[in-house]
Amino acid sequence: MKLRIGSLLFIAICFLVIGCESENIEEYFADAECPTDNVSFQADVRPILDSHCMACHNSLAQLGGVVLESYEDVLVYVENERLLGSIKHLPGFSPMPQIGTMLDDCSIGKIEAWIQSGAPDN
Ligand code: HEC
């Protein structure tokens, strides 16, 4: 009986270790595919906005009065938290993009990381 409990415990610990490791591996690959260190406004954030938002939020169309053309334009919506609220579909914000599907996790992750790093003009 003692032996059985011992081996059950052993198996349980194995699963625990494997479980933790595979989580780390997933995290590792997620980070390799979608690095969120030193996110750049010009190289990372700008292209996402250009392809998913600019049709409606350029200075001519400015749907909803929202312009996301220059860094300064975008900063307004960083500071009033509407940029993140709308792309993450948080309650109290209009979900964006208004037409089509939600941005992919990597794009949202990059924009969020850029905002958390102080939304630099880089
Ligand atoms: C098809 C047109 C269209 C697209 C594409 C679009 N928007 Fe909008 N957006 C609108 C309209 C219209 C409004 C104003 C009406 C509303 O708030 O629903 C708006 C409002 C907003 C607001 C204000 C939201 C609020 O709660 O006050 C933000 C921020 C915004 N858009 C950001 C974005 C971002 C970021 C993208 C790209 C990921 C995007 N939009 C894509 C049409 C669009």
- Indicate if 66 and 92 belong to the same structural domain: yes
**Predicted pLDDT at 6:** 72
Pocket probe mutation, ligand 1, options 62, 63, 83, 84, max atoms within 8 Å of Cβ: 63
What is the tens place of the pLDDT at every residue in 8-49? 777 666 566 666 566 665 666 566 789 999 999 999 999 999
- Its domain, for residue 91, covers 41-116
Ligand 1 centroid, distance to 54 Cα (angstroms): 10
- Indicate if 22 and 46 belong to the same structural domain: no
CA atoms of 7 and 61, how far apart (whole Å): 68
28 in helix, strand or coil? helix
Residue 26 lies in a domain: yes
- Indicate if 22 and 49 belong to the same structural domain: no
The count of domains in the chain is 2
- Indicate if 19 and 64 belong to the same structural domain: no
Ligand 1 site, residue 97, Cβ cutoff 6 A: yes
**Predicted pLDDT at 87:** 98
